[in-house]
């Protein structure tokens, strides 16, 4: 009898202790997470004309060994992107509305080296080219854009990233090689109150891009949304914004950009008036799918709003239009 | 590794059974079934870092009673609901479903059998597994944890006790990578309520 009790006890506890909720497909380490490669990106667009869902698919992922100035390229990735038509909320900056393919090359560190968009037809015309360059410490030092790509033509912009002694971005100098002119990003402000050191605002070409503060003691005007762009060069300008949006993202999983137009009566201090809103345009930028490769990727995505978020002339609209990119994995 | 751990715990329990068998004057086993609420707090300072993770678990355990004060046994808890909040880079938070499993062995030290109330201290060591169920993939990790609980139970009958309240903490030896925290030690607070049933009769 006691032998049976002991045996059953042993079997019972052996069963209990062998139980696990971890599955083979679970990501169980940071290395696995960092090395995770999505197989497709779902692009959901919710606009005043309805909701549509498109899918961009990875068609080829190859291990390579190519020596370049910045080190060794170890991976290349090809993707097929669906046609973003003329009425699409998300557009391509180069103006292409038909289906395209993308090519991304990655350094051994996992950071991107180049990102191409080219036509998916037989001639594979190069449409857009973005180059990511690094300093001797491996920090991103330049982003060079050729949009639209012109064969043997100059870059449309060449950005030099400047870091402070704490390793945080303190400025960017943008050169326009075609015209020989420059423009500076300035007044970088980081959130220090909660130790997040997240970029809160910067100024570019007389426009103030900011995350308005919330809560007690906050002097930012609430126009709705979590990002504003407004005229002015002083930090945290409260001028009437030319654009309001909600930007939200979670590492490796999703990115959503909402063109926020339902500002209601906020512009008249709650007095019941209405304000003109903005039907903005979102342009695809490679940082939307590559930002997690950088330690300060979300700050970079914020900074490059200047290229991917184009607020438009005020129009009477209260519709909040949204683009969500969700990353799918084959685990 | 798991097999070795299981074997070791099994041997400890078998030794306990033999010891209890020799006593003959006390209930030999008890089994417990409880509802457990757990909470791990994080600072949520940076984007992606967790602010809290909480789960509600079914918690079961079984003990061999060495004498009226000491019982050794094992426990197993598995969540039937759970939620975690993580900071987004726009200062908002995103919530995910969290799964949790905890298992290990424990020693319960209790006061003498009294008419109504009995206080006890449980010292436990085991493993905690937690999984974040994301939209695209699940992230899971496990760590060992050492902890203790203080509780009070009320006698309902010769065999049945009501665990009115049991409060405790577990110190996790490692953090879980997907919590995205810089903290090196995490503490899980937990509260339990339930029933304990003595199997076997006083002879």
Q: For A2-44, how does the pLDDT look when each residue is reduced to its tens digit (9 = 90+)?
A: 667 667 777 777 777 788 999 998 999 888 888 888 999 999 9
Domains and CATH numbers, chain B: 2-199 (2.40.160.20)
Q: Which helix (H) or strand (E) holds A55?
A: strand A50-68
pLDDT average, residue stretch B66-87: 92
DSSP state of B5: H
pLDDT average, residue stretch B96-100: 96
Question: Which carries the bigger pLDDT value, residue B91 or residue A210?
Answer: A210
Instruction: Determine the pLDDT at residue B147.
Output: 96
Question: Which carries the bigger pLDDT value, residue A272 or residue A101?
Answer: A101
pLDDT average, residue stretch B120-147: 94
Tell which residue, B18, B158, B9, B131, has the closest CA to residue B75: B9
pLDDT average, residue stretch A184-209: 87
Pick from A5, A9, A196: CB nearest B46 = A196
Q: Is the CB of residue B91 less than 8 Å away from at least one CB of chain A? A: yes
pLDDT average, residue stretch B122-143: 93
Does residue A8 lie within any of the structural domains?
no
Q: Which residues of chain A have a CB within 8 Å of the CB of B100?
A: 21
Range of the domain at A140: 36-328
pLDDT average, residue stretch B12-20: 51
Instruction: Name the E strands within B88-157.
Output: 93-110, 117-133, 138-155
Does residue A120 lie within any of the structural domains?
yes
**pLDDT confidence tier of residue B74, bands split at 50, 70 and 90:** very high
pLDDT average, residue stretch A219-230: 79
Instruction: Determine the pLDDT at residue B1.
Output: 46
Does the pLDDT value for residue A235 go beyond 50?
A: yes
pLDDT average, residue stretch A68-83: 94
Question: Which carries the bigger pLDDT value, residue B160 or residue A236?
Answer: B160
Instruction: Determine the pLDDT at residue A79.
Output: 96
**pLDDT confidence tier of residue B23, bands split at 50, 70 and 90:** very low
Does the pLDDT value for residue B18 go beyond 80?
A: no
Given the cut 0.90, state whether the ipTM is greater than it: no
Does the pLDDT value for residue B193 go beyond 90?
A: yes
Instruction: Determine the pLDDT at residue A309.
Output: 93
Q: State both tokens at A141.
A: 């030092």
> Is the CB of B45 less than 8 angstroms away from the CB of A33?
no
DSSP state of A97: -
pLDDT average, residue stretch B25-46: 85
Chain A residue with minimum CA distance to B79: A21
Tell which residue, B202, B51, B171, B197, has the closest CA to residue B104: B171
Tell which residue, A108, A104, A88, has the closest CA to residue A96: A88
CB contacts < 8 A (A, B): 127
**pLDDT confidence tier of residue B24, bands split at 50, 70 and 90:** very low
**CB neighbours of B88 closer than 8 A, spacing ≥ 6?**
A248, A249, A250, B47, B94
**pLDDT confidence tier of residue B2, bands split at 50, 70 and 90:** very low
Alpha-carbon distance B116 to nearest alpha carbon in chain A (angstroms): 30
Which of A53-62, B84-93, B130-139 has the least mean pLDDT? B84-93
Which residue in the block uniquely carries the two structure tokens 């908002």? Answer: B92
- Reported residue count of chain A is 331
Chain B residue with minimum CA distance to A41: B136
Does the pLDDT value for residue B202 go beyond 60?
A: no
Phi-psi region of B45 (alpha: psi -120 to 50; beta: other; left: phi over 0): alpha
Alpha-carbon distance B99 to nearest alpha carbon in chain A (angstroms): 8
Q: State both tokens at B131.
A: 């999984």
Q: Is the CB of residue B48 less than 8 Å away from at least one CB of chain A? A: yes
pLDDT above 90 as % of chain A: 51
DSSP state of A314: E
Q: Which residues of chain B have a CB within 8 Å of the CB of A2?
A: 17, 21
Does the pLDDT value for residue A233 go beyond 60?
A: yes
Pick from A13, A30, A250: CB nearest B74 = A13
Instruction: Determine the pLDDT at residue A268.
Output: 55
Does the pLDDT value for residue A196 go beyond 90?
A: no
**pLDDT confidence tier of residue A323, bands split at 50, 70 and 90:** very high
pLDDT average, residue stretch A151-164: 93
Does residue A270 lie within any of the structural domains?
yes
Instruction: Determine the pLDDT at residue B25.
Output: 52
Instruction: Determine the pLDDT at residue A269.
Output: 53
Average pLDDT, rounded, for chain B: 85
Tell which residue, B132, B125, B113, B197, has the closest CA to residue B168: B125
Q: Which residues of chain B have a CB within 8 Å of the CB of A227?
A: 90
Does residue A61 lie within any of the structural domains?
yes
Alpha-carbon distance B199 to nearest alpha carbon in chain A (angstroms): 12
Does the pLDDT value for residue B203 go beyond 50?
A: no
Does the pLDDT value for residue B174 go beyond 50?
A: yes
Q: For chain A, how many structural domains are there in total?
A: 1
Average pLDDT, rounded, for chain A: 87
Does the pLDDT value for residue A254 go beyond 50?
A: yes
pLDDT average, residue stretch B32-40: 97
Instruction: Determine the pLDDT at residue B3.
Output: 44
Does the pLDDT value for residue B54 go beyond 50?
A: yes
Question: Which carries the bigger pLDDT value, residue B161 or residue A263?
Answer: B161
Instruction: Determine the pLDDT at residue B53.
Output: 96
Which residue in the block uniquely carries the two structure tokens 């130790």? Answer: A195
């Amino acid at each position: 009898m006691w032998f049976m009790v002991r045996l059953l006890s042993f079997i019972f506890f052996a069963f209990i202790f062998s139980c696990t909720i971890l599955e083979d497909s679970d990501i169980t380490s940071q290395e696995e997470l960092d090395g995770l490669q999505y197989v497709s990106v779902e692009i959901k667009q919710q606009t005043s004309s309805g909701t549509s869902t498109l899918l961009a698919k990875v068609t080829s992922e190859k291990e390579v060994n190519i020596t370049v100035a910045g080190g060794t390229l170890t991976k290349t990735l090809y993707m097929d992107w669906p046609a973003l038509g003329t009425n699409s909320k998300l557009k391509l900056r180069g103006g292409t509305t038909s289906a395209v393919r993308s090519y991304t090359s990655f350094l051994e560190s996992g950071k991107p080296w180049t990102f191409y968009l080219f036509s998916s037809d037989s001639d594979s015309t190069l449409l857009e080219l973005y180059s990511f360059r690094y300093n001797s410490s491996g920090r991103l030092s330049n982003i060079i854009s050729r949009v639209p790509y012109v064969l043997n033509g100059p870059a449309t912009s060449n950005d030099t990233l400047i870091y402070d002694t704490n390793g945080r971005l303190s400025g960017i100098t943008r050169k326009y090689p075609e015209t020989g002119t420059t423009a500076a990003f300035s007044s970088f402000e980081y959130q220090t109150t909660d130790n997040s050191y997240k970029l809160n605002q910067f100024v570019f070409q007389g426009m103030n891009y900011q995350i308005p503060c919330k809560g007690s003691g906050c002097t930012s005007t609430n126009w709705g949304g979590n990002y504003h762009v407004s005229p002015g060069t002083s930090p945290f300008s409260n001028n009437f914004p030319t654009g309001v949006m909600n930007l939200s993202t979670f590492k490796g999983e999703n990115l959503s950009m909402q063109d926020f137009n339902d500002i209601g009566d906020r512009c008249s201090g709650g007095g019941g008036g209405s304000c003109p809103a903005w039907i903005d345009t979102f342009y695809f930028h490679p940082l939307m799918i590559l930002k997690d490769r950088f330690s300060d990727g979300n700050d970079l995505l914020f900074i490059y709003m200047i290229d991917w978020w184009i607020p438009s002339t005020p129009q009477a609209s209260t519709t909040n239009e949204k683009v969500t990119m969700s990353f799918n994995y084959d685990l | 590794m798991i097999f070795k751990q299981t074997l070791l715990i099994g041997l400890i329990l078998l030794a306990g059974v033999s010891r209890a068998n020799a006593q003959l004057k006390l209930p030999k086993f008890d089994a417990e079934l409880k509802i457990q609420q757990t909470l791990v707090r994080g600072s949520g300072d940076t984007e992606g870092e967790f602010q809290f993770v909480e789960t509600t678990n079914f918690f079961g355990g079984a003990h061999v009673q060495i004498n009226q004060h000491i019982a050794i046994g094992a426990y197993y808890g598995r969540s039937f609901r759970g939620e975690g909040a993580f900071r987004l880079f726009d200062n908002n938070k995103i919530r995910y479903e969290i799964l949790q499993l905890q298992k290990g062995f424990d020693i319960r030290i209790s006061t003498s059998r009294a008419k109504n109330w009995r206080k006890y201290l449980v010292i436990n060591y085991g493993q905690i597994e937690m999984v974040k169920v994301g939209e695209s993939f699940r992230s899971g990790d496990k760590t060992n944890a050492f902890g203790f609980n203080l509780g009070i139970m009320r006698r309902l009958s010769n065999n049945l006790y009501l665990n009115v309240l049991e409060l405790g903490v577990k110190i996790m030896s490692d953090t879980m990578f997907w919590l995205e925290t810089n903290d090196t030690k995490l503490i899980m607070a937990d509260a339990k309520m339930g029933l304990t049933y003595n199997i076997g009769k006083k002879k």
